[in-house]
Amino acid sequence: MIEIKNLKKYYGDNNSIKAVDDVSFVCPDGKITGLLGPNGAGKTTTLRMISGLIKPMAGTVIVDSHDVTRDPRAVRQALGVQADMNGVYPRLTPREQFRYYGRFYGLKGKELENRIDAIIAELNMEEIAERRAEGFSRGQRQKIVLGRALVHNPPNIIMDEPTNGLDVMAVRDTRNSIRALRDQGRCVLFSTHYMDEAERLCDNIAIIVGGKIVASGAPTELMARTGKDNLEDAFVALAGQVGLERSEYGRMQNHT
């Protein structure tokens, strides 16, 4: 389980840019939680603070009872992160990449190889597992990135816009993988700006706009709360004035 409380991160002169402003939400085990927001809303910054890449100015992140500020190593051990910059090593095979990452988590020998075999089977990578990643399609590379995040069998998974730039089949594969992770009882937190994706996949959604959580709950709850019959309309209604003021467009208007 991931618990985020009053998380803050400001940038710029006199902390004028509020990238993440007092964000709180909970991601339970066995559920998919979506962090939904437009570009520049603060999704990536929030996820980076959860994974310990960025230090929060204030607030706490607790992952399975470990505080990311006090015990970042334990948090990383409990997390599988599919990062925003999701590149692969072109000269290594997927199996070698999984082995490289698995060793960071203390896996070795037969245990590591068994785990790699399981990941390869789970992500249907048998045909490409022993080939160097140079020239792989985006979908195939995405599988490597996901496999690296899962190699140590973490109870919590974070994914930053996992379907961004993928073709239809790869998007479908990725969404199926996310569902499978949830069905295995893991806590899955992923960010997206695709409304239909959030509506289809998420058990819970936290809508973030201009660094603030403006609403959270199950997709059906959010739609009921706003009286809309789809998440996109509900999002627009909930983001509303706050969204306009705190969006990149709104910030530009305030400066002019």
Partner 1 sequence: MFNNIFNIWQKELLDIVRDGKGLRQTLVVPLVLGIFYAVLNPLLGSLVESRQEGTLVLPVQGLEYAGQEFIDTFAQFDIELEPFEGDLEATITSAEEAAGLIFTPGFGENVADEQEATLIVRTNSTSGGLFGGGLSLNRLELALNAYNQRITTQRLTERNIDLSVLAPVTLDAQDLASPAQRAGAAASFFLPILVAISAVQGGMFIAIDVTAGEKERGTLESLLVTPSSDTEIFVGKLASVFTVTAIPIVLTLLGFWGASSLLPESMTEGAGALPLSVIAQAILVSLPLALFANVILMVISIRTKTFKDAQSALTPVMFGVMFTAIAAAFVPPTGASLAYLIPVYGTSAVVGTLTLGGIIPANAVLFSVIGNVLATVVGVILAMQIFNRERLLYSM
**Residues making contact with partner 1 (CB under 8 A):** 48, 51-55, 73, 76-77, 79, 81, 83-92, 96, 100-101, 103-106, 132, 145, 148-149
Q: CB of residue 108 vs partner 1: minimum separation in angstroms?
A: 8
Q: Based on CB atoms, which residue is closest to partner 1, 82 or 204?
A: 82
Q: CB of residue 94 vs partner 1: minimum separation in angstroms?
A: 13
Q: Is 245 exposed, middle or buried (0-12, 13-18, 19+ CB in 10 A)?
A: middle
Which neighbouring-strand residues pair with 250?
none
Under 8 Å between Cβ of 165 and 187: no
Q: Based on CB atoms, which residue is closest to partner 1, 14 or 254?
A: 14
State how far the alpha carbon of 135 is from the alpha carbons of 72, 90, 119, 144, 252, in Å. 35, 8, 21, 13, 40
State how far the alpha carbon of 74 is from the alpha carbons of 54, 65, 68, 152, in Å. 16, 10, 8, 13
Q: CB of residue 136 vs partner 1: minimum separation in angstroms?
A: 13
Under 8 Å between Cβ of 145 and 82: yes
Helix (H) or strand (E) holding 67: strand 66-67
Q: Based on CB atoms, which residue is closest to partner 1, 33 or 86?
A: 86
Under 8 Å between Cβ of 23 and 6: yes
Q: Based on CB atoms, which residue is closest to partner 1, 3 or 96?
A: 96
Q: Based on CB atoms, which residue is closest to partner 1, 132 or 251?
A: 132
Q: CB of residue 99 vs partner 1: minimum separation in angstroms?
A: 9
Q: How many CB atoms lie within 10 A of CB 114?
A: 11
Q: CB of residue 256 vs partner 1: minimum separation in angstroms?
A: 27
The token pair at 147 is 């496999």
Which neighbouring-strand residues pair with 2?
27, 63
Q: CB of residue 109 vs partner 1: minimum separation in angstroms?
A: 12
Q: Based on CB atoms, which residue is closest to partner 1, 52 or 210?
A: 52
Q: CB of residue 107 vs partner 1: minimum separation in angstroms?
A: 11
β-strands 204-209, 66-67 pairing = unpaired
Q: Based on CB atoms, which residue is closest to partner 1, 143 or 235?
A: 143
